[in-house]
């Protein structure tokens, strides 16, 4: 197909909703037209979007396909994970390359390119995890920004002995990023203190999955968030993006920094908006291993503390700018079991790349968020934040024709029996959804339509990203 008209729908953007026809020409959006005006064009196909929203494809800037972690490897490959993304209306992912202490950054990058190339159903970019900040990796940051389209680097204040950076390493990486324009993404949890709590819990015999959450208290997230903000300030106001923010007081730190005018941003993820320490990580009660399905870091928070309410508010006020998934799936039967009898050995992570657009749209249906904010937090802002706009994140002439036709009247129920992730359970099992993806275009190619996947591995291309468009 070269020319496609999507007619009769309501185009939703970050600034509002308006009835319009959308004309696609090969890989790009050619025009937004007054309703009915598309009839004047000769096209190869007309897609009837009556009653539907027409939105820019979702941009999920936090995924871990086939990441080696926790003694195993995330269960979705780039092939299965990007196909599942397509099913959920996500047409761009940004995944994390992993560099460990002593490893050569460019070699790690080459290894991730080899995993992804030829396998992705949708477009993909990379961030770089710096697991070992030293002279070599610091120097590599400049080269990645300049030559490789990698403009964001994730550091960890958590996971001592794995990905952990001390404050001095964090500061040096932030100084480097301030100079080359990159964004520092931070896993903000005090890993040194958490490790003490973990060892004490295991020594006491408190080994159930719920102790994964109890030993990672929200105070250790808000403390680390505060520290990251002040280190970024000292580094000269380095753009700082806090990943997987889960807790009210961490959000307060973001709000304070933003009201000071700092380059501080944050994302949350659907699991923190819907799931809790008691009902999910503590599922089944004492002695049960069911909660292992919900072990991720930062952990799910207590339902008695209104975190989810505050996170929805943060999404409304823009203190939370982005919803990503932190998609890091591990099967229950053969991977989560590594932590049976010792919660500290449960591979950390949850799968969700398929359901982000639906679960945030559910927030619209439930009255937490406007339609425009749905598109802004799931597509437009992630594209701008990570240097892909206006190619991604917007339907405008010249943008990539990544388009989702979304039916707000559709009804469905999330289940592992019907999802498309390579994962033997769903953290959102049984969730009822108002709304659903009907048709998905990736660069003008129809890759999903009314329950049939029509894409292919290798259609997705690597996206070289520019600098964040939120710099001041």
What is the contact surface with Zn ion in residues (CB under 5 A)?
187, 326, 331, 334
Tell me the two tokens of residue 102.
């002593």
CA 228 from chain center: how many Å? 20
Task: Read off the tokens for 279.
Answer: 């009902």
Say how far residue 278 (Cα) sits from the centre of its chain.
Answer: 24
Start-end of H helices in 279-326: 307-317
Q: Does 349 bind ligand URP (CB under 6 A)?
A: yes
By CB under 6 A, residue 66 contacts ligand URP: no
CB-count burial class (<10 Å; 0-12, 13-18, 19+) for 303: middle
Binding of residue 63 to ligand URP (CB under 6 A): no
Minimum CB separation of residue 433 from ligand URP in Å reads: 24
Q: Which of 20, 296, 320, 369 binds ligand URP (CB under 6 A)?
A: 296
Structure token digits, residue 256:
């304070």
Draw the binding track, 183-222, toward ligand URP (x: CB under 6 A; -: no contact).
----x-----------------------------------
How would DSSP label each residue in 58-90?
A: EEEEEE-TT-EETTEE-S--HHHHHHHHHHTTE
223 vs 326 by CB, closer to ligand URP: 326
- Nearest distance in Å: CB 329, Zn ion: 9
Our finding on whether 328 is near ligand URP (CB under 6 A) is yes
Instruction: Please identify, using beta-carbon distances, which residue of 328 and 463 lies nearer to ligand URP.
Output: 328
Q: Does 336 bind ligand URP (CB under 6 A)?
A: no
Q: Which of 24, 52, 64, 274 binds ligand URP (CB under 6 A)?
A: 64
- Furthest CA-CA distance within the chain: 74
247 binds ligand URP (CB under 6 A): no
d(CA 121, CA 432) in angstroms, rounded, equals 27
Return all residues near 240 (Cβ < 8 A) that are at least 6 apart.
174, 183, 184, 186, 228, 229, 232, 262, 263, 264, 265
Instruction: Confirm or reject binding of residue 326 to ligand URP (CB under 6 A).
Output: yes
Binding to ligand URP by residue 38, rule CB under 6 A? no
Q: Which is nearer to ligand URP, 269 or 283 (CB)?
A: 269
> Does residue 131 touch ligand URP according to CB under 6 A?
no
- Secondary-structure breakdown of the chain: helix, strand, coil percentages, each rounded to the nearest 5: 35, 25, 40
Backbone φ and ψ of 140, nearest 5°: -65, -30
- The listed partner (ligand URP, Zn ion, none) that binds 348, CB under 5 to 8 Å by sort, is ligand URP
Residue 296 binds which entry of Zn ion, ligand URP, none, CB below 5-8 Å type-dependent: ligand URP
Interacting residues toward ligand URP by CB under 6 A: 64, 187, 244, 296-297, 326, 328, 348-349
């Amino acid at each position: 197909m070269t020319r496609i008209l999507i007619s009769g729908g309501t185009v939703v953007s970050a600034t509002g909703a308006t009835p319009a026809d959308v004309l696609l020409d090969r890989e790009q959006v050619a025009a937004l037209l007054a309703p009915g005006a598309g009839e004047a064009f000769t096209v190869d196909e007309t897609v009837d979007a009556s009653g539907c929203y027409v939105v820019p494809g979702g941009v999920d800037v936090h995924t871990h396909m086939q990441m080696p972690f926790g003694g195993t490897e995330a269960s979705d490959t780039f092939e299965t994970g990007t196909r599942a993304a397509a099913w959920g209306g996500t047409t761009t992912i940004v995944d994390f390359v992993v560099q460990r202490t002593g490893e050569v950054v460019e070699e790690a990058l080459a290894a991730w390119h080899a995993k992804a190339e030829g396998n992705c159903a949708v477009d993909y970019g990379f961030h770089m995890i710096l697991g070992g900040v030293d002279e070599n990796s610091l120097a590599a940051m400049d080269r990645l920004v300049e030559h490789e389209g990698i403009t964001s680097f994730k550091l960890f204040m958590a996971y001592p002995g794995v990905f952990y950076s001390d404050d001095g390493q964090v500061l040096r990486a932030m100084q480097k990023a301030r100079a080359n324009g990159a964004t520092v993404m931070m896993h903000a949890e005090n890993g040194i203190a958490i490790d003490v709590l973990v060892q004490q819990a295991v020594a006491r015999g408190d080994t159930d999955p719920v102790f994964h959450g109890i030993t990672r208290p929200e105070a250790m997230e808000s403390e680390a968030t505060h520290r990251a903000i002040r280190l970024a300030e000292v580094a000269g106001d380095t753009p700082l993006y806090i990943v997987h923010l889960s807790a009210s007081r961490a959000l307060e730190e973001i709000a304070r920094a933003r009201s000071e005018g700092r380059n501080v941003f944050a994302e949350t993820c659907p699991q923190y908006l819907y799931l809790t320490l008691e009902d999910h990580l503590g599922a089944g009660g004492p002695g049960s291993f069911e909660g292992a399905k919900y072990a991720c870091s930062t952990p799910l928070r207590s339902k008695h503390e209104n975190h989810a309410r505050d996170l929805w508010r943060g999404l409304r006020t823009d203190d939370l700018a982005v919803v990503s998934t932190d998609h890091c799936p591990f099967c229950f039967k053969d991977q989560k079991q590594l932590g049976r009898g010792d919660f500290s050995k449960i591979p950390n992570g949850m799968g969700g790349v398929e359901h982000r657009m639906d679960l945030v749209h559910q927030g619209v249906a439930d009255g937490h968020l406007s339609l425009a904010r749905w598109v802004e937090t799931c597509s437009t802002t992630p594209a701008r934040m990570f240097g892909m706009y206006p190619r991604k994140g917007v339907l405008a002439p010249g943008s990539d024709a990544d388009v989702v036709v979304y039916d707000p009247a559709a009804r469905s129920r999330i289940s592992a029996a019907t999802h498309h992730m390579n994962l033997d359970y769903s953290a959102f099992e049984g969730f009822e959804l108002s709304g659903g993806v009907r048709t998905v275009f990736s660069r003008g190619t129809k890759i999903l339509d009314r329950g049939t996947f029509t894409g292919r591995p290798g259609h997705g291309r690597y996206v070289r990203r520019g600098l964040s468009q939120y710099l001041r």
